[in-house]
Amino acid sequence: MIHSSPPPGRRSQQGASLLEVLIAVLIMAIGLLGIAALQAVTLKNTSSSAERTQAIMQTYTIFDAMRTNRDTARSGGYNRAWSCEAPVAGDDDDARAIGEIGAWITQLQANMGDTACGRIQCGTQSCTVGVRWDDNRGTGAKAGEPVKVEIQTTSRL
């Protein structure tokens, strides 16, 4: 019986070795983990961006309310220090302004979480509205470590 063998210096491959398959699986696993990490960072940043957008939209909401009640806004009827709770009307307060501020703070917290607070400071020509909230999800801070983010917008009435 004569056995034929390949010519010297030339071998035919019979299939992939186990080592080659394991290396290919390892490379693919590392790539998939990288894609998953990228997706997690993207979701975190999207959440933070959405909250910033909501903060800006809410400042314009209270500006629009103040423009419809311009005299009260210019006389200081909307002025409030940092507050996370809807105000309660006193005897000398403008009930409309208090109601609008209360609705605004309630809407802030509904859109941005319970940590959202607002501030309004008006002069004779312009007002500054501030929104502050905890953005520890967007900054990657450790759980339990609040990261206060503040946005202030100034506009003429």
**Residue 11 lies inside a defined structural domain of this protein:** no
**What value does the mean pLDDT of the chain take?**
85
**Residue 94 lies inside a defined structural domain of this protein:** yes
**Residue 10 lies inside a defined structural domain of this protein:** no
Q: What is the pTM of this model?
A: 0.70
- The average pLDDT across 99-128 equals 92
Q: Domain count for the chain, please give it.
A: 1
**Residue 7 lies inside a defined structural domain of this protein:** no
**Residue 91 lies inside a defined structural domain of this protein:** yes
Domain containing residue 146: 18-156
**Residue 33 lies inside a defined structural domain of this protein:** yes
User: In the prediction, which pLDDT does 147 show?
Assistant: 77
CA distances from 137 to 22, 34, 48, 88, 110 (A): 37, 20, 7, 32, 17
Distance, C-alpha 24 to centroid of its chain: 38
**Residue 8 lies inside a defined structural domain of this protein:** no
